[in-house]
Amino acid sequence: GRHCAVYAAMLTLVIGGSASGKSAFAEHLAVQSGLPRFYVATMRVWDAESERRVARHRDMRREKRFDTLECPIGLDRLILPARGTALLEDMGNLVANELYDADGAGRDAAEAAVCGVERLHRQCAHLIVVSNEVFRGGADYAGDTARYLLALARVNNAVAARADHVCRVACGLPRAAAMELAAQMVVGSARLQQESGKHPGALKDAVCSPGGTTIQGVRTLEEHGFRAAVMDAVIAAYEKTAALKK
């Protein structure tokens, strides 16, 4: 008889800081699928302003053929209308709601969120979870803030351990675009030096505007010892070549 292939569901964690572009990147991943798309929204609507924002986001997602499912708490009880691609945004809201809402899981917020991800994952062909980076600026927090960040960190670690892919988004750039821009920067810099014959220091002064974005990047490279590292690398390679000739 005819057999239908059953493929394991995929799980992707997209993580990044505020305004990093992680949401747009996650939506880009979701729309690649030809399957039904579901947006699992975890933000709690508190007032008229948040209600208007939710309605505006619903309209934007509808253009991308997402069906929106509201789920501020109790993710383990959510039932998808069909098997497809689900985008959960975002884990930070879900953990906060479970932690502090009267009907939430309270001290078991992290466990409830992870259990919800596992059950939702079993209903999907592809589950994409968006979450926030935590503790990047240090761990000197106390009280409710520390409690929340620790719970979210536990969830991030648990989801990452189960995920097929973990994507950290910075500056709104997917990895392929970031690699292409970096390669073009190196090629362009090398070509400019070769064609002009000028010292790199002179070229830096020629192309960098005071207070501009390029000089800010150069300053950061200098702070991290980029020039010294390149010089040391060339000397180390030379010394190794000389040693091999002996």
Contact 124, 81 (CB under 8 A): no
Contact 67, 85 (CB under 8 A): no
Tell me which DSSP letter residue 173 carries.
B
Q: For residue 113, what pLDDT band results from cuts at 50, 70 and 90?
A: very high
| 67, two tokens | 């069906």
Q: For residue 174, what pLDDT band results from cuts at 50, 70 and 90?
A: low
Q: What is the dihedral of CA 210, 174, 87, 155, to 10 degrees?
A: -80
What is the average pLDDT across 19-25? Answer: 88
For residue 92, pLDDT beyond 90: yes
Q: Which one-letter amino acid corresponds to residue 5? A: A
d(CA 178, CA 191): 20
Q: For residue 4, what pLDDT band results from cuts at 50, 70 and 90?
A: very low
What is the average pLDDT across 33-39? Answer: 91
pLDDT of 179:
79
Residue 87's H or E segment, with its range, is strand 85-89
For residue 1, pLDDT beyond 50: no
d(CA 13, CA 5): 25
pLDDT of 106:
96
Q: For residue 14, what pLDDT band results from cuts at 50, 70 and 90?
A: very high
What is the average pLDDT across 173-192? Answer: 77
Q: Looking up tokens 């995929």, which residue turns up?
A: 10
What is the average pLDDT across 135-150? Answer: 84
With pLDDT > 90 as the criterion, what percentage of the chain qualifies?
45
Of 84, 88, 86, give the one whose Cα is nearest residue 72.
88
Beta bridge partners of residue 170, listed in sequence order: 173
pLDDT of 175:
66
Q: Of 44-53, 70-79, 86-95, 154-163, which range is least confident? A: 44-53
Beta bridge partners of residue 11, listed in sequence order: 127
Residue 90 preceded by cis peptide, ω within 30: yes
What is the average pLDDT across 10-25? Answer: 91
For residue 13, pLDDT beyond 90: yes
CA distances to 11, 51, 155, 243 from 39, in Å: 15, 17, 20, 60
Of 46, 74, 42, 41, give the one whose Cα is nearest residue 58.
41
Q: In what order do the strands lie in the sheet with 66-70?
A: 66-70, 37-41, 85-89, 126-132, 10-16, 165-169
What is the average pLDDT across 107-133? Answer: 97
For residue 42, pLDDT beyond 50: yes
What is the per-residue pLDDT across 183-238, written as a single tens digit (0 to 9) for each? 887 887 888 888 888 888 887 787 887 778 788 888 888 888 888 888 889 888 98
* Residue 76 CB contacts under 8 Å (≥ 6 apart), including other chains: 112, 115, 116, 119
Mean pLDDT in the chain?
Answer: 87
What are the E-state strand segments in 112-216? 126-132, 165-169
* Residue 227 CB contacts under 8 Å (≥ 6 apart), including other chains: 221
